[in-house]
Structure 1
């Protein structure tokens, strides 16, 4: 089964605004319009069977609406696996974990940059502890800032992975957007960390992408398009071309998520 592990789809009322924000934040032109219908059309055209839609709350007050949106997406669309979210300033997080679990959500997305906290915020520690064995975590990792001041970094992720060996962690963007050299060293040999391929191939040299692919076993890589930023079909072609991947290696990356513990 081919699975795109890293996508976003917004409520129709805010999709255009969300895409405009992404265009401004990342100085690009998104390939998708942000709606679930366009997402699923693009995934079908790219030969994908399922996709993970990631929801994140930029404020504590948005945790419940974001998780309700995730549950609704998953209920209506069998092709979608939706991840909910938490926020370190959300006081009733234990109750929300139970609610997400009852509602069939399998994962949690954290994006420290957009959510306004650091990944090493101590308020997250009891959440990680309670989520072990219950939820996967998809984490945005990386920043244009220095690692010492960045909201997230490969070093921060490595500390979480070692402190909570029962967590299944998916490191976004090959483990560190714009921090790829750090990610190679900091995240080597961590048994509970997987790597999604999103938002990397447009920015790296073939040599660096090959180093990233050689840094971990092939089964640790999960295909991610970061739609609506990028089209999944074009992302497959770019990943294969720049990374020098054989057809069989690319197919492994496209299907590895099927075997990710707790996803299906």
Structure 2
């Protein structure tokens, strides 16, 4: 069966190590030995059950948006097991034009990271983005960080109520480092969550509890490469007491529904 990693970051070869180190610095994790290139990710997954990757990167300046989108589209053309998501920045001038261009490039969604982009996820500039993509493209939103308010789950709740047809993955079980707090805001909302950067922190028992609380049909497997090894993350999930049907939903079918594409 296919296994879809629904949360992976990749960067061009020439900056792959530098970008990985910058991510590590942001989270206080030693990433100096990690390479965040597409080839490194594929090599890390070789021989494993992981077959497909939802790939993206984050623009920290408006000028990076078209460059990153071109890169992600190029990687998807080179690797037919990649599903590419565009980036967007709150200060990019022609949001609608770039979203249309991203669709023409074959990209299947959008990814934003309010904390590294230093913007509230319900800022009016991003509310315009959600208006543009509602009913057209899904979006992965980094959600939660005890150090910042930009990505607070309560902000996502407002977004979901304002745009009821927006398809959202509230990454990191809806609230990285504030997992239980996120559940209070998002348990009954219309959004997906993914397992990226969560399993090691939560442990098997709490992970299963959260999957049951959100509903197995809302949870997608994600590794957060290059932060963590996709294979290690997959093996942790596979060791948990899910039924085969539940496991296939988490690692395959839910991601298909999220991107609106059969794998």
Q: TM-score normalized by structure 1? A: 0.92
Matching of residues 74-223 of structure 1 within 5 Å: 74-145=76-147, 150-191=149-190, 193-223=191-221
Unmatched runs of 5 consecutive residues or more in structure 1: none
**Which of 32, 35, 60 is the aligned partner of 1:33?**
35
The answer (yes or no) to whether the contact 1:43–1:51 under 8 Å persists in 2 is no
Taking the aligned partners of 1:189 and 1:213, their CA distance within structure 2 comes to: 13
| SS of the residue 2:19 aligns to | helix
| SS of the residue 1:60 aligns to | coil
**Number of paired residues?**
259
Taking the aligned partners of 2:249 and 2:95, their CA distance within structure 1 comes to: 36
* C-alpha displacement of 1:45: 2.9
Partner deviation per Cα, 1:110-144 (whole Å, 9 max, x = no partner) = 00111121112111112111111111100100112
* C-alpha displacement of 1:206: 4.1
- Aligned partner of 2:248 in structure 1 is 251
* C-alpha displacement of 1:66: 1.0
The answer (yes or no) to whether the contact 2:108–2:259 under 8 Å persists in 1 is no
Range with greater deviation from structure 2 (214-223 or 254-263) = 254-263
| SS of the residue 2:53 aligns to | strand
Partner deviation per Cα, 1:123-177 (whole Å, 9 max, x = no partner) = 11121111111111001001122xxx51101111111111101111011000000
Taking the aligned partners of 1:198 and 1:89, their CA distance within structure 2 comes to: 27
Q: Check 1:244–1:28 CA distance in 2 against 1; reply closer, same or farther (3 A cut).
A: farther
Taking the aligned partners of 1:263 and 1:53, their CA distance within structure 2 comes to: 15
* C-alpha displacement of 1:93: 1.1
Range with greater deviation from structure 2 (27-36 or 10-19) = 27-36
Taking the aligned partners of 2:204 and 2:135, their CA distance within structure 1 comes to: 37
- Aligned partner of 1:7 in structure 2 is 8
Q: Write out the 4+ residue segments of structure 1 that deviate beyond 4 Å after TM superposition.
A: none
Taking the aligned partners of 2:76 and 2:233, their CA distance within structure 1 comes to: 24
Taking the aligned partners of 2:168 and 2:201, their CA distance within structure 1 comes to: 23
Taking the aligned partners of 1:46 and 1:117, their CA distance within structure 2 comes to: 37
Unmatched runs of 5 consecutive residues or more in structure 2: none
| SS of the residue 2:226 aligns to | coil
Partner deviation per Cα, 1:25-63 (whole Å, 9 max, x = no partner) = 222244841111111122333211210111210011111
What is the CA RMSD across the aligned residues, in angstroms? 1.8
